[in-house]
Chains A and B, each alone.
Chain A
């Protein structure tokens, strides 16, 4: 049973690369292989052009931040951060200076004499990060560091880590299952599925031009709506309904081979808008029955039925004034994607 198979990956220097995917997709395994904590059965890993398959973790000049912090409970924060430097026989004066700088960067310099058991989750995470950056390694690895924090802290730490990357400019490889973290933090996303790379590229690349249905459905919250329909003439007729969507001119050629065949249309919630407000040529109109409205304050998410599927539209709160049971929506067909139902790849 291989956790990761047939992965060919190049990570550019100085970039913030995020390995993202569901649990069990192999992202942690991949990271740990880079760290040297897991063995490779086949293939090679090169860092800066040097093959490091048989090089021990401590000689790879990498630093790692663990999900459960992995701090040493019987040492003070200072000793925790200084541990790696001490192991490499760095002179004390230098240790003092480096720890001071790292802890200042992370706003934990007032905690240096405390013990891990006296710190909160967020503080522990900063100490773990401090331990990593103080060694000024050439690669920083993060293994789901924010999973154990509550939502608000997570938001805060996301920004901190991104800021850190800007300041330090080092190569950072970050593993997470959270697609929001991936989207907001990455220079480059590598989406893994069942041990293989599903797609890689910049966040917006993957968001707007997903290669497969999986990628399309993974990024974005609420996730993309997948509507089943059939291609007829210049429209897509939605199954089990009398709705249809116009296919824009420029895409008609792409879909000729799908004439009279089933197809999946991917519409993101934000591609919907209230019909009488938006008025572009590329918009198809639909009249639907509202099943559920979930307001978040700045947006309202409306659930409705579209053929045999359930769909969610993202509208502004004012679009839904009054108790509506039906609403007329328009869809921005220029941004919609089409997916082959059999190969599950984007057309």
Chain B
């Protein structure tokens, strides 16, 4: 058969496969969202209802009324602030490693090794420390932890991005009379904007989606949405309406970020692998 025909058939097959895969992967998310809009009757209906009669916001209302929705706010504060700290401190540290090779291979290796420690091994001693200092269930405590846990990643990634920037720009700025600090803020940061965005997104999403650290280090004041979701799992039955609504509340912001920053996210993952 003509190659052009063969190609068209191949394309059709590929399309079918791609669509099937997309449906398969998106179905759980669809289900989650859909449940959050159902009434209790529909949720516990048998056989399961695939499309709610009407889109109900009652599950969400309950969360707001009970004040549980505030946990999303906690997540925002904790993830947001820790990301900013990690990005700033981490990037300048990365600059030092990239340009001055501070600490040489040993420091770089030690830093990346910090990222490889499993959270459970870190969270336990940190918990003991926090109890001692009374930092359990505080914003400061959780922010500090997320910042610390994200620093190695930020340092590693930004070091790679900075090394890709030609040093001549900074040298030109120095000759022009900028101080070294100014060079960092005014030349380096703007130049690696793309890398900053990608890394910041990752850092934020990691802190936002974290569960185990929040589980251990928060109680009632600073509970993040991830912890809150698990509160609705009961021994006898689960409050599916609340679970799904809370999950959606916590997931939607990330979806928006991904939608707007999709380009950076994809680039970040692929470049991250290459630099890692």
When distances are taken between beta carbons in the complex, the residues of chain A under 8 Å from B4 are 39
A48-64, CB under 8 A of B: which get 1 and which 0? 00000110100000000
- Scan residues 1-36 of chain B and give those whose CB is less than 8 A from a CB of chain A: 1-4
Cα A53 to Cα B5 with chains together (Å): 13
* 8 A/B residue pairs, CB under 8 Å, sorted by A: A39-B3, A39-B4, A53-B2, A53-B3, A54-B1, A54-B2, A54-B3, A56-B3
What interface size band does chain A fall in?
Answer: under 10
Cα A21 to Cα B38 with chains together (Å): 67
When distances are taken between beta carbons in the complex, the residues of chain A under 8 Å from B1 are 54
Query: B residues engaging A (CB < 8 A)?
Result: 1-4
The distance from the CB of A171 to the nearest CB of chain B, in whole angstroms, is 24
- Scan residues 43-90 of chain A and give those whose CB is less than 8 A from a CB of chain B: 53-54, 56
The distance from the CB of B10 to the nearest CB of chain A, in whole angstroms, is 13
The distance from the CB of B109 to the nearest CB of chain A, in whole angstroms, is 26
Interface of A is mostly: loop
Cα A56 to Cα B3 with chains together (Å): 9
Cα A54 to Cα B1 with chains together (Å): 8
When distances are taken between beta carbons in the complex, the residues of chain B under 8 Å from A56 are 3
Q: Which residue of chain B lies nearest to A41 when distances are taken between CB atoms in the complex? A: B4
When distances are taken between beta carbons in the complex, the residues of chain A under 8 Å from B3 are 39, 53-54, 56
When distances are taken between beta carbons in the complex, the residues of chain B under 8 Å from A39 are 3-4
When distances are taken between beta carbons in the complex, the residues of chain B under 8 Å from A53 are 2-3
Q: Which residue of chain B lies nearest to A56 when distances are taken between CB atoms in the complex? A: B3
Q: Which residue of chain A lies nearest to B4 when distances are taken between CB atoms in the complex? A: A39
Q: Which residue of chain A lies nearest to B2 when distances are taken between CB atoms in the complex? A: A54
When distances are taken between beta carbons in the complex, the residues of chain A under 8 Å from B2 are 53-54
The distance from the CB of A52 to the nearest CB of chain B, in whole angstroms, is 11
When distances are taken between beta carbons in the complex, the residues of chain B under 8 Å from A54 are 1-3
Interface centre among A53, A54, A56 (most CB of B within 10 A): A54
The distance from the CB of B57 to the nearest CB of chain A, in whole angstroms, is 51
Cα A54 to Cα B4 with chains together (Å): 8
Shortest Cβ-Cβ A-B pairs, 7 listed:
A54-B3, A54-B2, A39-B4, A39-B3, A53-B3, A53-B2, A54-B1
List 5 additional A-B contacts (Cβ < 8 Å) besides A53-B2, A54-B1, A54-B3: A39-B3, A39-B4, A53-B3, A54-B2, A56-B3
Interface centre among B1, B2, B3 (most CB of A within 10 A): B3
Cα A17 to Cα B3 with chains together (Å): 28
Cα A273 to Cα B4 with chains together (Å): 59
Q: Which residue of chain B lies nearest to A55 when distances are taken between CB atoms in the complex? A: B3
The distance from the CB of A38 to the nearest CB of chain B, in whole angstroms, is 11
Cα A233 to Cα B261 with chains together (Å): 74
Q: Which residue of chain A lies nearest to B1 when distances are taken between CB atoms in the complex? A: A54
Cα A53 to Cα B2 with chains together (Å): 8
Q: Which residue of chain A lies nearest to B3 when distances are taken between CB atoms in the complex? A: A54
Cα A39 to Cα B1 with chains together (Å): 14
Cα A39 to Cα B4 with chains together (Å): 8
Cα A39 to Cα B3 with chains together (Å): 9
Cα A56 to Cα B4 with chains together (Å): 12
Cα A296 to Cα B184 with chains together (Å): 50
Cα A247 to Cα B80 with chains together (Å): 84
- Scan residues 13-39 of chain A and give those whose CB is less than 8 A from a CB of chain B: 39
The distance from the CB of A155 to the nearest CB of chain B, in whole angstroms, is 33
Cα A168 to Cα B4 with chains together (Å): 35
Cα A53 to Cα B4 with chains together (Å): 10
Q: Which residue of chain A lies nearest to B7 when distances are taken between CB atoms in the complex? A: A39
Cα A53 to Cα B3 with chains together (Å): 8
The distance from the CB of A86 to the nearest CB of chain B, in whole angstroms, is 26
The distance from the CB of B175 to the nearest CB of chain A, in whole angstroms, is 33
The distance from the CB of A50 to the nearest CB of chain B, in whole angstroms, is 16
Cα A195 to Cα B118 with chains together (Å): 61
Q: Which residue of chain B lies nearest to A54 when distances are taken between CB atoms in the complex? A: B3
The distance from the CB of A168 to the nearest CB of chain B, in whole angstroms, is 30
A172-192, CB under 8 A of B: which get 1 and which 0? 000000000000000000000
Cα A39 to Cα B2 with chains together (Å): 11
Cα A54 to Cα B7 with chains together (Å): 11
Cα A95 to Cα B4 with chains together (Å): 35
Cα A264 to Cα B50 with chains together (Å): 80
Cα A257 to Cα B2 with chains together (Å): 53
Cα A56 to Cα B2 with chains together (Å): 11
The distance from the CB of A297 to the nearest CB of chain B, in whole angstroms, is 37
